[in-house]
């Protein structure tokens, strides 16, 4: 059995999508980040960085604890032999697009969300900076998807990592029609039952 500590954010939903795609049994433990649950001593014992998601895998001689969403995706994909090639250029294609999400498409879009939706007062410089960067990142993704059905060729953890962030495109003032290849990819993933289920975690 797997214990998943998560909340309804893009980073949390990456992992629940993969768990659903793998068809694994898992127990959801909601961590209400709005209420500060991530700072509890109980959760910090699982992830000292106080961020969701985190995972504890009890399927072995000893439990395995993994935090950071990208690390969890790699761990699960490697353990179950799906959605991440084991070697060669195909493996590094997936990993580089996963890192694109982890280093840019997530953090920069997160800053866009913050300054457009949560900042106590408008900060024009920050809004301009991050909305422009969001548009640039979507253009990079659109260019890649113009030549590939999925971001790294075959459907992979890179797609699962990117999708929940793209699902908040309206928060980022992004019109997906301006990125037709992203729109096609987004609609394709949206139709997958496992993605639909994973996006509802925690219920």
pLDDT, one tens digit per residue, over 15-28 is: 999 999 999 999 99
**CATH no. for 2-83+196-200:** 3.40.30.10
- % the chain with pLDDT above 90: 99
Q: Which residues contact 16 (CB under 8 A, 6 or more apart)?
A: 4, 6, 28, 197, 198, 199, 201
Name the region of 42 (left: φ>0; alpha: ψ -120 to 50; beta: rest).
alpha
What pLDDT, on the 0 to 100 scale, is given for residue 83? 98
Q: Domain coordinates of the chain in residue numbers?
A: 2-83+196-200, 89-192
Average pLDDT, the chain: 97
Residues 42-83: tens digit of each pLDDT:
999 999 999 999 999 999 889 999 999 999 999 999 999 999
What pLDDT, on the 0 to 100 scale, is given for residue 134? 97
pTM of the model as a whole: 0.96
Domain spanning 89-192, CATH class: mainly alpha
């Amino acid at each position: 059995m797997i214990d998943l500590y998560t909340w309804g954010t893009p980073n949390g939903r990456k992992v629940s999508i993969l768990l659903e795609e793998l068809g694994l049994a898992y127990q959801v433990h909601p961590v209400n980040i709005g209420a500060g649950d991530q700072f509890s001593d109980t959760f910090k014992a699982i992830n000292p960085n106080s961020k969701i998601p985190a995972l504890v895998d009890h399927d072995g001689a000893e439990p395995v604890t993994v935090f950071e969403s990208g690390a969890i995706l790699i761990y699960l994909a490697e353990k179950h032999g799906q959605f991440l090639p084991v070697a060669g250029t195909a493996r590094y294609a997936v990993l580089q697009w996963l890192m694109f999400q982890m280093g840019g498409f997530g953090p920069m879009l997160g800053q866009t969300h913050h300054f457009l939706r949560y900042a106590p007062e408008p900060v024009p410089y920050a809004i301009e900076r991050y909305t422009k960067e969001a548009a640039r990142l979507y253009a990079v993704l659109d260019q890649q998807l113009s030549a590939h059905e999925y971001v790294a060729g075959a459907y992979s953890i890179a797609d699962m990592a990117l999708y929940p962030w793209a699902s908040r495109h309206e928060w980022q003032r992004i019109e997906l029609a301006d990125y037709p290849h992203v729109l096609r990819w987004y609609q394709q993933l949206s139709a997958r039952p496992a993605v639909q289920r994973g996006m509802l975690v925690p219920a």
